[in-house]
Structure formats: C-alpha cells, structure tokens
Amino acid sequence: MKKMLSAIAIAAMLAQPVVVAAKDKEPVKISGPANAKGVTTVTVGAFNVGFIFESIDQTAASGGLMGAFGGTTKAKSALVGVTPEMMQAVTDAAYADFVAQLTAQGYVVQPAAELFGHSALAKTKSQEVPLDINIALEKGSKGKATYYKPSALPSLLMIPGDFLGSGMSSMGINMSAGRASMALTNYARESGVGVVDVVYLIDFSQQKRPGAFSFGGLQVNSALSVSADYSRISLITPAGKQLVITIKQPVAVEGEFVEKNDATSGTDKALQSTANVAGGLAAVAGLGGLRFGKTRKFEFAAKPGNYEEGAAKAASLASAMLIERLGALR
C-alpha cells in the first residue's frame, strides 16, 4: 500500500499544470483571520475527501427556437469506474501530502492518537465510512458525493459548514457535526493544541454551473478539480475560536483522467428537438410557445491510475494554496 501511495504522489507531481478559472476573483475567502495568530502546534482532527459521482446541473430553460438550436440547459452527469480502493488511495496520498506541507510551513503536527485518545472525544462517534451525502450545488443544481477519511485517522468527523446537504438525509449528519465541533473545541482548549479540519470535494466534470454559462449553454469538460465553495480548511484554536479559509475558485488539473461520452439516447434527443421546434414556431406565430430546452446525459469513465494521479495532484495544489495562506496569518 505504501509503495502504491508513493507512486501516486510522484506521478501526481507530473500531472498537467493547474487551471484556475475566473482569475479576476479572489482564490480564497478567509473568515476570522486574526484567530490564527500565534498558533504553531496543531493536530489534524479531520481530513475528508469527497468524490462527486453524480450531478444534475441546469440553467433556466431557453425555450422556443433558442431551446431548439441553442445549448444544453440541463446536464445529468455520472462518474463510473472509480473503485473504493482508488478513492482510499487518493485520500491517503492527499493526507500524507497535506501533513508534509504543513510541517514544511513550520507547524508542529501532533500525532492523531493524542487527539482521539483524549477524554474530550470519548463520546464522539465517527460518521459512516465511507459517507454518502446528497449535496446541494449552485443555484438549484445537486449531486451525490462519497466521502473518505485517511487510513491514519480512526474516525471520520465533520464540523458544521464542511458540507451542504440536500434533503432530510443530512439532518443526522449535521447533528453529529455539531457534537464533533464541540468535542474538538474542548480538546483544543484543554490541550493548548490547535485542531485542523480539512474537506475537499473532487469534481470529475468541471462543469460551468449556473451563473457561469456561455451563450451556447452549459459546457461540460472532463478536467478534475477541487471544487470551489465546498472545499476548505478550518482551524479551531486553543482559545476556542475558529479560522476558516474557503476555496473560491476551482483548483483543476487537465489531463487524460476520465473519458467523457454523451449518454443521451437518440430517442430523447429527437423528442426534445421536436418539442423545442414546435414551441419556437408557436412563439413566432404569436401563440405563446412552450419552454423546454435540452437535457443531455454524460458518462465519465475514470481511467485507473490516471484518475488517482489527477485527483491527488488537484488536492496537493489546493493544500499548497490553503497552507500558504494559513502560515501567513500565523
């Protein structure tokens, strides 16, 4: 296993350059920056990597002739071919890389056993491993993600804000997250050691989600990325205060990681085209017209080896950006 993780880590460094969109915007958002001052000894209480397996992204139906001849207004995307072993390998490699970067930044990283063996966490229960969550994405889009923890950590813990759940199924996870946050805060206060919480959400399709659509409609690409808004680092300080640095631009790498295929059936395409043309002609004739748009299904098949390298590289780049900002605030 160690040889496999080392191979992934080395290969990850050879992956294609990072691609970060919307360079006119700040890459991160920092909440509570003053709270990081003076904290030099930390332990990692949580390091969770989520993998999106399914997403439904949509913009407003363009309707009429634009719906018939314009771009996609809804995309249903699915990732296939990623095994539990692949996700665990990515998570373990990302965690080892994160700890190494944190140490190189000058932090003293305490063993996880000291945290999880402390009385403050005696009644804290792990979330299910792996943890499946229906997540709410931007502006009505939604997806399904599976979260893994590193093999080096005995429990999968989350704190409030680590994910944005969709539906009733996330209520129990939110309650557990609140209890975990209190336990980690108590540990930080009693031990004098800061607690670091990290969550990364890996997106396989690099879709331009609602709010970032081109005139031609929704564009779907096959780069891997650490998602903006759903990936962050939190620091709970010995004073019981919290710093949060949230990634605000996707951290992506391009390469031969997944193969994209249009999985929409010919029948579905024909029905949508007919409906949109009819609606457009009715609108032209002054009869109102219906609003349909296009729905497309995409299947992304992961390439074993390449997928792990790309995901590990994206996580490493995200860690470098977050740790640099964290260190500057110390």
Contact (CB, 8 A) for 253 and 224: yes
What's the confidence (pLDDT) of residue 61?
42
Whose tokens are 């996700």? That residue is 87
What's the confidence (pLDDT) of residue 247?
96
**Domain boundaries along the sequence of the chain:** 2-56+82-262+304-329
What's the confidence (pLDDT) of residue 157?
98
DSSP SS3 for 96? helix
What's the confidence (pLDDT) of residue 140?
60
Is the pLDDT at 19 greater than 80? The verdict is no
| CA–CA dist 242, 237 (Å, integer) | 6
Contact (CB, 8 A) for 160 and 175: no
DSSP 217: B
Residue 218: pLDDT band (50, 70, 90) is very low
Q: Which residue has the higher pLDDT, 286 or 92?
A: 92
pLDDT digits over 289-322, tens only?
A: 444 456 778 788 889 999 999 999 999 999 999 9
User: Mean pLDDT over all residues of the chain?
Assistant: 79
Q: Which residue has the higher pLDDT, 9 or 211?
A: 9
Is the pLDDT at 251 greater than 80? The verdict is yes
Contact (CB, 8 A) for 231 and 246: yes
Contact (CB, 8 A) for 90 and 48: no
What's the confidence (pLDDT) of residue 261?
74
Is the pLDDT at 88 greater than 90? The verdict is yes
Contact (CB, 8 A) for 65 and 284: yes
Query: What mean pLDDT is predicted for residues 95-119?
Result: 97
Dihedral sign, CA of 146, 150, 194, 235?
Answer: negative
Query: What mean pLDDT is predicted for residues 259-275?
Result: 53
Contact (CB, 8 A) for 274 and 53: no
What's the confidence (pLDDT) of residue 252?
86
Q: Which residue has the higher pLDDT, 151 or 219?
A: 151
Beta bridge partners of 298: 77, 262
Retrieve residue 81's tokens.
């071919």
Report the range of poorest mean pLDDT among 54-63, 111-120, 252-261, 296-305: 54-63
Does residue 130 have a cis bond before it (omega within 30 degrees)?
yes
Is the pLDDT at 49 greater than 60? The verdict is yes
Retrieve residue 179's tokens.
């209890």
State the maximum Cα–Cα separation within the chain, in Å, rounded to a whole number: 74
Is the pLDDT at 44 greater than 50? The verdict is yes
| CA–CA dist 115, 190 (Å, integer) | 11
| CA–CA dist 182, 184 (Å, integer) | 6
Beta bridge partners of 202: 51, 226
Contact (CB, 8 A) for 147 and 133: yes
Is the pLDDT at 45 greater than 60? The verdict is yes
Q: Is 289 left (phi over 0), alpha (psi -120 to 50) or beta?
A: left
pLDDT digits over 123-176, tens only?
A: 999 999 999 998 877 666 678 899 999 999 999 999 999 988 766 667 889 899
Query: What mean pLDDT is predicted for residues 100-118?
Result: 97
What's the confidence (pLDDT) of residue 60?
46
Of the candidates 160, 94, 154, 146, which has an alpha carbon nearest to the alpha carbon of residue 121?
154
Beta bridge partners of 48: 199
